[in-house]
Structures are given as structure tokens and as C-alpha cells.
Amino acid sequence: MGATYSLGLPRGKGPHAVGCTDVMVGRSQKSLFFRLFYPCISQEGAERPFWIPRYEYYCGLADYMNMNRKWCAPLLSMTFGSCRIPVSWDAPLKLSNKKYPLIIFSHGLGAFRTVYSSVCAEMASRGFLVMALEHRDSSASATYYFKRESEASDIPEAPVQEEWLSYREVPKDQKEFHFRNPQLHQRANECLRGLKLIRSISGGKAAVNLLPTDFDLSSLKDNVDLSRAAVMGHSFGGATSILALVKEAQFKCAVALDAWIFPLENTLYPKVTKPVLFINTETFQTVDSVAKMKKICSLNDETKIITVLGTVHQSQTDFTFLAGNLVNRVFRTRGTIDPYEGLDITNQAALAFLQKHLQLKEDFDQWDGLLEGVGNAVIPNGPLQKSSM
């Protein structure tokens, strides 16, 4: 693309204004940390949150990219530091006569809870409650939790201390699968714990958010449709969504964005009997990974694979909109397709699939053709290439 500036994150195109807040429940590495996107009451002049919330995440991104923190973190901060997400921070939940279906979203390697804000905000604008997790398995470029200064203290107001977790490379003496597979199970279990937390809050149980916020978690009570829950994720998060679908009966379907399917064990494939939508980019997948997706397809007629032409692996992240030409050239954050068009296709296919398998009464079925690979810039099945990982 010829533009020499950042493009900016798209707003959700659905009928609802979108709010978001951060939630951390629990005081250990096993705590749950996520960004919640939800339909909100429209707020004039509401605060727009920064896309990257803390400087530590720039340091984490530098580490993940194997670059020196001293120059890379300030450069990333200069590039992205002023970027904000076009949603209303801490706005009140919009109460409706129908409950909101739930999506739990899992990020990819080296990402964190805010990197998929475009997808999450679009889903919230269409009437979903979206929990974007920040995983604690050392696959996030950075994350943190609070630990008690005194382990004996169970008082909610007790002083707490921030503890940061860094991204971990595969140890040199270990095979990648043996390192990544336990991480995958931890991530899927975090998705299950996320669902359990929302079930608990929706049922009226109080949850203490350790982060300063004006959002009232108890407003979710009786407003979440837990009979309509799906799991979604990108790359490592795509594989996480498939495993979570197998582990949790309450998840009805999964949307796997350019899934990095390698860490899934072979014994798992026959168990993926519920519908999965694989939305692949043109350049990331291999013959082996597409063959594994087809194996999953053979178990359920409703499982679909489509490829969005002109896209690269980062096309399904916010980087595709925010990286200028230099960053794009170095890290291939954009393909040949217009990034807004590429994301529209991804979102519309996901919405059509969710309507079908969560039995929603919306107008998302207008995009059903995409699920068969019919439309501009989309083909059925995997990308046409012969490389291997």
C-alpha cells in the first residue's frame, strides 16, 4: 500500500456501541486476566484506551522479536504509543431484553490481550460479550499478576506486588512440541476457567477485580447467554480454541484464525467432533497443517476451511492497521489485500458461522456464502502452496 502513515483501528460495524474494561481476578500466576469487550451505553466524550497499555509490553515485544530492549522498546513506544482503541473505556453495559452470547478469545505467540481489539470490538458491536484472555503460560510477550506481600493474608485490601512474566523461547535441549503442548493445555484450561468465572458472575456471585475500574462486573448478572458460548483464537490461540472446544461441553463451536495446529497432539483429532471454522491466510499454512485441518473436517460436515487471498499471518491482528510502511516491510504485517477488506471477510465469515452454530436470530446469515469459500478474495479449503514448517 502507498500510505506512509498508520491506518488506524476500525470501529465495530454493528448496531451496538462498544465498551471495554480490564479484569484481573485472583492473586497468583493462576489468576485470570482479560480484557472484556461488550455492548455499552453510548458515552459522549468517553475515554479511548491506549492500544498498548503499559511500557512493559514494548519490552516484551522486543524480547519476543529477539531485539535489544534498549533501542527497540522506545522505538515501538514511539511508533504505537499514541494509538488508541475506538471503544469507550469502562462504559456501562447496555442492558437488553436478550442476553449476550459469549466468545472467549485466545491470543497468539508473543501477543497479549489487546492485540486483537479490531476483531473483539467488531464482535461486541454485533451483540457478543468477548473475553480476550492474556495467557499465563509464558507465550504472551509480557503479562503480569499480583502476588500478596504476605502469603497468609486473605484480606482483599491487603497490599499486593506486581510480578511480570516474560515470553519464553523453546529451551535448546527440548523439542518444540514437548514444550508447546503443555502450554496449549494450560491455555485451554484458562479458557475453561474464563467460562467458569462468567458463569459464576452471571449467576450472581461477586468477583473482585483487582484492577482500578469503574465497570461493575455484577451488571453481567442474568445478561450472558451461557447456552450460546464459543471459543475463538489466532495462531497458537487457534489451536487453543480447538482444544478448549474438546475439553468443555458448553462451548458449541470454535473459530480458528490461521491456526498454528502443530502443538495439538495426534490423539486429539478424533475428539474434535463439534464445528470448527478455520479462516486461513494465504501465506502461513503448510501442506501438513492443512492436511490436519482436513482430518478434523472429515469428522463433522459443518467444519469448514476457507482461505482469504492476499493476506499474511498478521492480517488478522491489529498490527495490520497500525504498522507504518517500514514496520510492514520488516515484519510483513500486511498482505496485498486492503487490510480493512481482509478483516471484514474474516469477521463476516466468523459471524455467519457463529449465527449458525449458536442458533442466533441475527442477519449474519447474509454472509453464509463465505463459509463455502464463495466471494471476493476467498477460496474454499487451504491455501495453494507447497512449503512445510
What sign results for the dihedral spanned by CA atoms 167, 171, 177, 183? negative
Beginning with the edge strand found earlier in the chain, give each strand of the sheet holding 304-308 in spatial order: 88-89, 17-25, 32-40, 129-133, 100-106, 224-234, 251-257, 276-281, 304-308, 378-380
What sign results for the dihedral spanned by CA atoms 172, 174, 177, 183? negative
Residue 235 appears among annotated catalytic residues: yes
Whether the Cβ atoms of residue 270 and residue 246 lie closer than 8 Å to each other: no
Residue 219 appears among annotated catalytic residues: no
Whether the Cβ atoms of residue 108 and residue 235 lie closer than 8 Å to each other: yes
CA 283 to chain CA centroid, nearest Å: 20
Query: Which of 22, 90, 137, 258 is labelled catalytic?
Result: 258
What cell numbers appear for 142 in the block? 509480557
Query: Which of 241, 313, 318, 357 is labelled catalytic?
Result: 313
Query: Which of 118, 139, 141, 235 is labelled catalytic?
Result: 235
Site of grid cell 467460562: 195
The amino acid at 280: N
Q: Hey, which bits of 26-99 come out as E strands?
A: 32-40, 88-89
The DSSP letter of residue 156 is: T
Count the residues in the chain: 389
65 to 5, 27, 59: CA distances (angstroms): 22, 29, 10
Residue 90 appears among annotated catalytic residues: no
Whether the Cβ atoms of residue 377 and residue 345 lie closer than 8 Å to each other: yes
Closest CA to 19 of 139, 112, 100: 100
335 to 5, 44, 49, 314: CA distances (angstroms): 16, 36, 27, 9
Catalytic (active-site) positions: 235, 258, 313
